[in-house]
Structure 1
């Protein structure tokens, strides 16, 4: 029986060691997960703090069923979607669809486009009436905690295409 007892103490020490490890890891994560200055939308509403949407979202020319990396100016993807930055925000489409963009360090334009893309990536072009992102709108009278998503039928003309068209016109 002495062999059984020694096995049990080994098991007990292993279990007790495991029980103390995860909380340490969890507390570490909590302190670093939320970046300073990143707000909760509900707190902003209580304080009456207005939200500004990044203007860069209005000139993406991005098609909802394509990867966000297809945006012409990929540098905008790193910018915060709102000012002040928020941890999560709901994106509401006119027909009722709602997606949520989350990022504990502040929701970026890429986070918003990723959340939208997840909903539309399997849709064919002819299934979507307005397949291009026009921009986001914050309307505190309708809802303080979400943005309206505006779409359009045509994408923005890409700068490369417009240069080619000018060259063709000059040649003609």
Structure 2
């Protein structure tokens, strides 16, 4: 009965090597897309951000799902150029909403984040319920700012955010009226 237990030994065997070996830092390649930037890196490098123009013609109501957008193909476009993993969206009242995607925040990601914050609000609670687009204010400091220090502080504060611009009536792009024209063309063809 003085024999060592082999099952216990085999369970512990090799454990010392695992404890002493350094932990490997490994990133999953599938969750990272090439060319997608961190917003803080853009701020540090002073890389300007361009907002997708397609956001200005969605005709989307902020308390409705993004699936109600008429032009579905714009939902898959990146919200900004260069694409970012995360960006804060700020309302006129100062509420901050964060949109995230490791493969680059798309217009759909932004609309879904805004919808999540507003889905329980009824239509009569919303003074301006329709999205007019987004504004990156870092490159447009207010005219009253004249001192270089004020302008730089403003840019630092605004570099990582987009302002949500709302309006009281929906704006729909020229192609949304095209749906009716296509139906008319189909009727003419029959």
TM-score of the aligned structures, taking structure 1 as reference length: 0.78
Alignment of 1:70-149 (within 5 A): 70-140=68-138, 141=141, 142=154, 143-149=158-164
Q: For residues 94 and 32 of structure 2, what CA distance do their matches in structure 1 show?
A: 30
Post-superposition, which runs of at least 4 consecutive aligned residues in structure 1 deviate over 6 A? none
The match for 1:154 among 169, 173, 177 is 169
Compare CA radii of gyration and give the structure with the larger one. 2
Partners of 2:179 and 2:71 lie apart in 1 by: 16
TM-score, structure 2 normalization: 0.71
**Shift of residue 46, structure 1, vs aligned partner:** 1.5
Once residues 54 and 109 of structure 2 are traced to their aligned partners in structure 1, the CA distance between those partners, rounded to angstroms, is: 14
For structure 1, the residue ranges without an aligned partner over 5 or more in a row are: 168-172
Calculate the aligned-residue CA RMSD, in Å. 3.1
Deviates more, 1:153-162 or 1:129-138: 153-162
Aligned partner of residue 44 in structure 2, secondary structure: helix
How far apart are 1:36 and its partner, in Å? Answer: 1.3
CA contact (8 A) 2:99 2:110 kept: yes
Q: Contact 2:56–2:171 (CA<8 Å) still a contact in 1?
A: no
**In structure 2, how many angstroms separate the alpha carbons of the residues matched to 1:90 and 1:70?**
23
Query: Which whole-Å deviations, capped at 9, do the CAs of 1:43-78 have from their partners, x for residues lacking one?
Result: 111111110000000000100011101101010010
Please state how far the C-alpha of 1:127 moved relative to its aligned partner: 1.1
The 1:38/1:124 distance shift into structure 2, 3 A limit, reads same
Hey, what's the Cα distance between the residues in 2 that align with 1:134 and 1:28? 38
Shift of 1:8: 3.8
CA distance in 1, matches of 2:95, 2:60: 18
Tell me the matched-pair count: 160
Structure 2 regions of 5+ residues with no counterpart?
Answer: 142-153, 185-190
Q: Point out the structure with the larger helix share.
A: 1
CA deviation profile, 1:80-137 (whole Å, cap 9, x unmatched): 0000101100000010111001111111001100110100111111111111101000
